[in-house]
Amino acid sequence: MAMAVHGGGSNPQTLQFLSNVLSQRGPSALPYTEDVKWLIRQHLLSLIDSFPSLQPKTAVFTHNDGRSINLLQADGTVPMPFQGVTYNIPVVIWLVESYPRHPPYVYVNPTRDMIIKRPHPHVNPSGLVSIPCLQNWVYPSSNLLDLARNLSHYFARDPPLYSRTQRKLNSAAGPNPNLNVNPRPGDSSVVSSNCSSIERPSIPPSQRILPPSPYASSSGSIVPQRPTGTDDPNEVFKRNAVNKLVEMIHGDIVALKKTGEGEMDGLFNAQAALRQREAQLKKGFEDMQDEKEGLEQQLQMVLMSADLLQVWLRENEGKMTKLGSVNVDEAFELCDPLSKQMLDCTTFDMAIEDVIYSLDKAVQEGVMPFDQYLKNVRLLSREQFLHRATSGKIRAAQMQAQVASMAARASHYAT
C-alpha cells in the first residue's frame, strides 16, 4: 500500500514526509545510499514546486526478475498543451535504487477510459516511457524537474493516450472530413494525433510557440514541421532557421558533454590517487611520531646515565691525586654482591675459553690424544654453560635494579 503526502508545493507536510522516509534506518529503510539522500530530497522538492500535481510516495516496486523493493515515486499528472488546450497525463516516476546516478523509471498510468496509443515513439505498450532525457541521463546535472518538462514537451508533440469512448465513436461513424472536435479544457482524455477522422483546429501564427526542447526523437535528430496551407512563408523560413540553429546547438552540447565526461573521469582518477597518497602520508607521519617518541625515551635514558657518570667522577676525582700510582685490578671496587658474582662468572668464562683454545692447539700438534681432548672439552663446556647462564640472570637483575634507580631519580628531578 502506497503512503502519500497531499498538498501542493513544498509545504511542511511534504518536507516532513521526505525527512522521515529518507532518515529511516533498519529493515524499513529505503535502499538509497547516504551520500545521495539529500540530493534526492532536493530533486523531489524542486519537482513539486513546479509541478504540484506530482506528489511523493513510497510504494513497492517489482523488478522484471521478481524482486520487490520499497522505493520513492512521484505520482500524479503532467500537463500537456495540445491544440491550445492543456490536458493532464497521468504518470508515475519511480526512483530506482541507483538514482540519481541512473535515470528513474517513468510509466504512463492510464485510467479506465484511456488507451495507450500504439505505436508511439516514446511509450511502449506497457506504458514505459523512453525519451532522450532518460537515455542521455548524466549525474549529477540531470534532475526530475527537467525530466517532467521534457515529458510535457514530448507528450504535446505526440499524445501517448486517447479516450476509449472517442475511439468507439470514430469506428462507428467512419471517416468524416467535416467533423471538428474541440476538446474541453481540463478533460483528461486526449484525442489521438493519427485519427484522420478528426480535423484539428488550426492555431493562428501569432499563437504558435516554438518547442522548448531540441530533441524530437529518441535518436536526437530534428524533425522539421511541414507547413500547412495557411502558414506564412516568412514564418516557415523563421521556423526552419530556428530548427537548424537548435540542431547545431544540440551538436555542440553533445560534444561538450563528451568532453566534460572525459574530464570528469580524469578528475575522479586523480582524486582516487590523491586519497591513496594521503593515506600513505598519514601512515608515514604516524610512524615518524612513534619513532620520535622512542628516540626521546632513549635520549632521556642517556642523559640520566651521563648525570650518574658525572656524579661518580666528581666523587672520585680527588682520590686519584691522593693515591698516586694505582693498581688497575684494585682501582674498581664492587658495589654490591651481584657485581662481585658477575665478575667471578665472567672470569671463569674467559679462563675456560682460554683453556679450550690451548686444548685445540695441543690436539693439532699431537701432544694430547683425541679422546682425552673430547672428554676435557665436554667437562669444560658444561661448566662454561653454567657460568654463562648465571651471568644472564645476574645481568637481568642488574638491569631491573638500574631501571628502578633511574625511575627514582626521575621522580626526584620532577619534584
Q: Which residue has the higher pLDDT, 143 or 27?
A: 143
Q: Which distant-in-sequence residues (6+ apart) come within 8 Å of 343 by Cβ?
A: 334
* Whole-number Å distance between alpha carbons of 22 and 39: 11
* Residue keyed to cell 699431537: 366
Predicted TM-score of the model (pTM): 0.41
Cβ of 312: how many Cβ atoms within 10 Å?
Answer: 10
What confidence score (pLDDT) does residue 251 get? Answer: 87
Give phi and psi for 221, each to the nearest 5.
-85, 160
| pLDDT bucket at 23, cuts 50 / 70 / 90 | confident
pLDDT at residue 129 above 70? yes
Percent of the chain that is helix, strand, coil (3-state, to 5): 55, 10, 35
* The residue type at 318: G
Residue type, 382: R
CA dist., res. 136 & res. 147, Å (int): 11
Q: What are phi and psi of 162, to 5 degrees?
A: -150, 165
Report whether pLDDT(219) > 60.
no
What's the CA gap between 130 and 162, in Å, rounded?
Answer: 19
The pLDDT score that the predictor gives to residue 226 is 42
In this structure, of 39-53, 196-210, 353-367, the range with the lowest mean pLDDT score is: 196-210
Helix (H, G, I), strand (E, B) or coil at 80: strand
- Percentage of the chain lying above the pLDDT 90 cut: 42
Q: Rounded CA gap, 114 and 155, in Å?
A: 15
Provide mean pLDDT across the span 11-38.
86
Q: What is the pLDDT of residue 413?
A: 59
Q: Tell me, what's the pLDDT at 54?
A: 92
Question: Can you tell me which residue has the cell 534526492?
Answer: 40
Which stretch of 41-50, 231-240, 243-252 has the lowest confidence by average pLDDT? 231-240
Q: What is the pLDDT of residue 7?
A: 41
Averaged pLDDT score across all residues of the chain: 79
Sorting pLDDT into bands at 50, 70 and 90, what band is 48?
A: very high
The cell for 130 is: 523512453
The per-residue pLDDT for 375 is: 93
pLDDT at res. 206: 34
Answer whether 148's CB lies under 8 Å from 51's CB.
yes
135: nearest Cα among 39, 263, 257: 257
171 pLDDT more than 60: no
Q: Which tops the pLDDT comparison, 179 or 344? A: 344
Choose from 87-91, 186-190, 217-221, 338-342 the range with maximum mean pLDDT. 87-91
